[in-house]
Amino acid sequence: MVKKIEKLEMRGISKSFHGIPANQEIDLTISSGEILGLLGENGAGKTTLMNILYGLYQPEAGEIRINGERVRISSPLESINLGIGMVHQHFMLVDNHTAAENIALGYKQAPFLFPQKKIKDDIVALSKKFNLEIDPLKKIWQLSAGEQQRVEIIKTLFNGADLLILDEPTSVLTPQEAQDLFRVLKDMKAAGHLIILISHKLDEIMDLCDRVTVLQKGRIVGHAQTADVDKSTLARMMVGRDVIFDIQREKMPPSRQVLRVSNVTVNSDKGFPAVKGVSFDIHRNEIFGIAGVSGNGQRELVESITGLRKLVSGKITVNGKDISNQSPRKIYNSGVSHVPEERIKFGIAPGLYLYENAILKQHHLKEYSRNSMLAYGNIKSHARSLVDAFQVLAPSINVQTKDLSGGNIQKLILGREISHEPDLLVASHPTYGLDVGATEYLRKQLLKQRKAGGAVLLVSEDLEEIFELCDRIAVIFQGEFMGILNSDDPQVSDIGLMMAGSLKLPAA
Amino acid sequence: MKIRITDRAKITPRDQVLALVFSIMAGLFVIGLIFLAFGVNPVFAITKIFAGSFGSLYGFKETITKAIPLILIGVGLTIAFRAKFWNIGAESQLLMGAIFGTWVGLNWGPHLPAPVIIPLMFLAGFIGGAIWGLIPAFFKVKFAINEVISTLMMNYICAEFLTFLIVGPWKGKTKFGFPYTDDLPESAILGLISGSRIHYVTLILAVLTVVILGMIVYKTRFGYEVRVIGENPEAARYAGIDFFRTTLIIMAISGGVAGLAGVGEVAGIHHYLSYPASISSGYGFTAIIVAWLAKLNPFFVIVSGIFFAGILVGGDAIQISLGLPAATVEIFNGTLLVFLIMGDYFLKHKISIER
């Protein structure tokens, strides 16, 4: 058995992808009984650094030392053997297996036959110790995100982890679940574990961590004891300037109704109701935001509006026309555009050229296709104007779309979706994972769309984005609206409670 | 020592050519080892194969004859494979085309002149192959049944059905009890380029099909939709592309052109239906490699089709002259396919060794 980790150091770690540096000369130290925060924006290199520590990537330079001794970690297996455990942002669990089976998987002391029976009791004992309550016999898909996370944590403890890495652990949790997690982490710290918390949320870092290391564009820009700094100092370190977005949202007079969603119920992939009797409307010159922790029905609601998912009941109209259960193409033709979440999974055909992706939903329109032949002249000039107008950084329109960065793909998709002046733009997490510059640009484009008379439905987990852009805000929890607020309503401060499901406003 | 596999950042046309050349060389090397195991000088055998198919006028004419079905089927497969529909059933789509075409030829041929009956036979063959391709396509889009399994199994069903026809209801009166249909009437038989077995009508049809399908893939809305489906089915759904309809059309085309090849084989070469293995010597399977070697580009299918036809002809030549088993050609083709697919993997991934 390897000695317990007392101290871990990373020295001069550098790593680049395709020539673009992701980590440059990073130094980092953590000792037993300490929680270290790793703070930085999306794309700052936090996850890359931790993946190096976990053995998923090899650094190009630098070394890792455990208890002063230099180690080489060339695979997750070696990392686990050294006592390092990682809980990824997206859980690595087998959905159709029980929690116990998932924990038994990869557990070296598990017996060959019926492993889950033998270790069930061990799980219960361990979960008691750290208040990590789970039912070991439930299948993963039956568990909430918080419970799944507990399964992941127990799994790392079973494998003897002294050092636990958590990558954005609260991004899928309700505030209540997050508080529970924090309590668990504090107990583990008291028991002598080392914990690295990756986050871009200042509150968490301040609440939980003893020390914080701030990354920006792959470099360390500062270390601090959380007791010595305040949130605004950290924010400045993280972004490299004061975080005041200079986006101005003009007042717009009330205008004609575009979207009307009445009493809509939609099922999830598993066949359970994911959206339960939701009603709202959106007008011209209005951005309507849906706030909430992801996985509370946002995706199903968006898919029902854009034709990708069938309604169980209810009705959706656009400009007075019924679009309930129409095909995606008919709904597009009725004036609804869609910037999908997971842009690479849904929004583009990665191996096709940029210009071919510039017309992905519009290729059937008369400008681009005549007598079923594609009009490549028009398509290319449209692509060129999109690239210019939406500042897509690309060597040319003849590159494969997968070679663009995430931000540029998103600009291309947004440009494509608003270039045909839709009456309604549905945008799901449009700035997720983008850098500050691209984020600001995309937000401005949404406001421009609003000013030009469009209606926008914005689904976002990012409350700052919601407050900045939206005229009205609905909070969704477990498929129901907990209330719809005007952005100047003083009650917006209660949004956190509404997101957690502990406050529901009476229907207006 | 550790072996590490990462995605290759950029793939240039030069890399593609190099990967292709290396795959073929490596494949030939392994095939050479097999020849060696049989006690045959590999360099001599491989030279003999290509001399047999491209080295003489007679050999070249035979190569073109065998290239006709390979090109037709291969180009149909490029469309299916582009949409990630793994059609392994072209062999039976060819046979079904042959069955439909023969029925039309036998029944209507005696009353109709060649310019009428021959287009009708090809039309019937297209329909036959298309129906046989549509069945697994329908099962896939409707019930999510894996097409690799269903198209493969359809091969056996069709082969048994053909055997049933020739030993049963369609058995010819003039064939002395052999399990063959009667000969097609004169008007239903395709003309040959003199001194060869090249049935030029099918050859022209094959080249036309390449041009038309090439245009469809790269220039039309339908081809665009096929490529989007193949690249990202989720994005296709998001873009309002009808997966159901598009998949059915793809398989109607892919099966249909294989059916054309079946008509060509019967009306151009055999003149009557006989056992499945004599109507097609595995063209439907070899064409998979043809499509793959052409990198799913319809136009390149002409080159790769002739290349593999050459191997079939050359394989026959070494069977006879070197006394190698009949399976030699299949081993040859299979080995090359494995190396072509490996070459593709090494083209897309970078392997590095760390110490």
Separation in Å, CA B350 to CA A159, B5, B115, B231, B293: 32, 6, 56, 22, 21
Over residues A35-56, the pLDDT tens digits come to 999 987 666 788 889 999 998 8
Among the listed residues B253, B271, B285, B335, the one whose alpha carbon sits nearest the alpha carbon of residue B46: B335
CB atoms A340 and B238 under 8 Å: yes
Contact A476, A460 (CB under 8 A): no
Whole-number pLDDT of residue B3: 74
| B217–chain A Cβ distance below 8 A for any pair | no
Among the listed residues B211, B282, B276, the one whose alpha carbon sits nearest the alpha carbon of residue B66: B282
- Got the DSSP string for B191-232? PB-TTS--BHHHHHHHHHHHHHHHHHHHHBHHHHHHHHHHH-
> Is residue A245 very low, low, confident or very high in pLDDT (cuts 50, 70, 90)?
very low
Over residues A480-492, the pLDDT tens digits come to 999 898 887 777 7
Contact B267, B121 (CB under 8 A): yes
Provide the shortest C-alpha distance from residue A264 to chain B (in Å).
21
CA torsion B304→B306→B308→B311, rounded to 10°?
Answer: -140
Compare all CA atoms of chain B with the CA of A399 and give the residue at the minimum distance.
Answer: B10
**How many beta carbons lie within 10 A of that of residue B10, not counting itself?**
8
Q: Work out the average pLDDT over A107-135.
A: 77
Q: Which regions in chain B score pLDDT beneath 50?
A: none
Among the listed residues B280, B52, B245, B333, the one whose alpha carbon sits nearest the alpha carbon of residue B155: B280
Over residues A248-269, the pLDDT tens digits come to 677 777 788 999 999 999 998 8
Q: Work out the average pLDDT over A388-404.
A: 84
Separation in Å, CA A335 to CA A288, A306, A417: 17, 10, 10
Separation in Å, CA A503 to CA A278, A476, A483, A491: 17, 11, 9, 11
Separation in Å, CA A496 to CA A46, A229, A258, B6, B349: 26, 25, 29, 42, 46
Q: Which residues of A touch B224 (CB under 8 A)?
A: 356, 363, 374
Provide the shortest C-alpha distance from residue B187 to chain A (in Å).
37
Among the listed residues B264, B120, B88, the one whose alpha carbon sits nearest the alpha carbon of residue B192: B264
Whole-number pLDDT of residue A1: 45
Handedness of CA B272, B275, B281, B284 (dihedral sign): positive
Query: How large is the ipTM?
Result: 0.78
Q: Work out the average pLDDT over A125-141.
A: 83
| A327–chain B Cβ distance below 8 A for any pair | yes
Residue labelled with tokens 């842009």: A343
Q: Which residues pair with B5 in a beta bridge?
A: B351
| B270–chain A Cβ distance below 8 A for any pair | no
Whole-number pLDDT of residue B125: 96
| A399–chain B Cβ distance below 8 A for any pair | no
Q: Which residues of B touch A361 (CB under 8 A)?
A: 238-240
∠ CA A432-A435-A439, rounded to 5°? 65
In whole angstroms, give the CA distance from residue A408 to residue B297: 29
Q: Which residues of B touch A330 (CB under 8 A)?
A: 240
Q: Which residues of A touch B220 (CB under 8 A)?
A: 372-374
| Secondary structure (3-state) at A357 | helix
Tokens found for residue A478: 């477990």
In whole angstroms, give the CA distance from residue B29 to residue B287: 22
In whole angstroms, give the CA distance from residue A504 to residue A481: 8
Over residues A176-210, the pLDDT tens digits come to 788 888 988 998 899 889 999 988 777 788 888 99
A110 pLDDT higher than 90? no
| A443–chain B Cβ distance below 8 A for any pair | no
Alpha helices in B38-180 (DSSP H): 42-54, 57-82, 90-108, 114-143, 147-167
Q: Work out the average pLDDT over A222-228.
A: 88
Among the partner-chain residues B221, B231, B235, the one whose CB lies closest to the CB of A347 is B235
Give Rg (Cα) of chain A.
24
A236 pLDDT higher than 80? no
In whole angstroms, give the CA distance from residue A500 to residue A498: 5
A132 pLDDT higher than 90? no
A244 pLDDT higher than 60? no
Residue labelled with tokens 């294989």: B258
> Is residue A138 very low, low, confident or very high in pLDDT (cuts 50, 70, 90)?
confident
Contact A261, A279 (CB under 8 A): yes
| Phi, then psi, of A361 in degrees rounded to 5 | -100, -5
Provide the shortest C-alpha distance from residue B8 to chain A (in Å).
9
For residue A377, what are the contacts with CB-CB under 8 A and spacing of at least 6?
Answer: none
Burial of A490 (0-12, 13-18, 19+ CB in 10 A): exposed
For residue A219, what are the contacts with CB-CB under 8 A and spacing of at least 6?
Answer: A24, A25, A26, A45
Per-residue 3-state assignment (H helix, E strand, C coil) for A458-469: EEECCHHHHHHH
Q: Which residues pair with A458 in a beta bridge?
A: A289, A427
pTM, full prediction: 0.75
Q: Work out the average pLDDT over A6-21.
A: 84
In whole angstroms, give the CA distance from residue B197 to residue B61: 7
CB atoms A369 and B2 under 8 Å: no
Express as a percent the part of chain A with pLDDT over 70.
94
Write out the H or E segment, with its range, that includes residue A413. helix A406-418
Size of interface A-B (CB pairs under 8 A): 71
- Got the DSSP string for A428-463? ESTTTT--HHHHHHHHHHHHHHHHTT-EEEEEES-H
| A273–chain B Cβ distance below 8 A for any pair | no
Hey, what amino acid is at B26?
A
Put the strands of the sheet holding A273-283 in their side by side order: A273-283, A257-267, A311-318, A321-322
Compare all CA atoms of chain A with the CA of B228 and give the residue at the minimum distance.
Answer: A349
Contact A475, A498 (CB under 8 A): yes
| B235–chain A Cβ distance below 8 A for any pair | yes
CB atoms B238 and A376 under 8 Å: no
CB atoms B219 and A373 under 8 Å: yes
Contact B153, B229 (CB under 8 A): no
| A369–chain B Cβ distance below 8 A for any pair | yes
Whole-number pLDDT of residue A241: 53
Q: Which residues of A touch B222 (CB under 8 A)?
A: 372
Q: Which residues pair with A36 in a beta bridge?
A: A196, A211
Provide the shortest C-alpha distance from residue A359 to chain B (in Å).
9
Percent of residues in chain B assigned helix, strand, coil, to nearest 5: 75, 5, 20
- Got the DSSP string for A239-303? HSS---------------EEEEEEEEEEE-TTSSEEEEEEEEEEETTEEEEEES-TTSSHHHHHH
| B219–chain A Cβ distance below 8 A for any pair | yes
CB atoms B240 and A369 under 8 Å: no
Compare all CA atoms of chain A with the CA of B1 and give the residue at the minimum distance.
Answer: A74
First to last CA, chain B: 4
A368 pLDDT higher than 80? yes
| Secondary structure (3-state) at A164 | strand
Q: Which residues of A touch B4 (CB under 8 A)?
A: 58
- Residue of higher predicted confidence among A165 and A127: A165
Compare all CA atoms of chain B with the CA of A308 and give the residue at the minimum distance.
Answer: B238
> Is residue A243 very low, low, confident or very high in pLDDT (cuts 50, 70, 90)?
very low
Among the partner-chain residues B231, B232, B238, the one whose CB lies closest to the CB of A328 is B238
Separation in Å, CA A215 to CA A92, A165, A413, A419, A434: 26, 16, 29, 36, 16
Q: Which of B219, B226, B232, B347 to mutate to test the interface with A (most CBs of A within 10 A)?
A: B232
Compare all CA atoms of chain B with the CA of A72 and give the residue at the minimum distance.
Answer: B355
Tokens found for residue A484: 């719809």
A469 pLDDT higher than 70? yes
Contact B77, B254 (CB under 8 A): yes
Q: Which residues of B touch A403 (CB under 8 A)?
A: 10
| Secondary structure (3-state) at A314 | strand
Provide the shortest C-alpha distance from residue A346 to chain B (in Å).
4
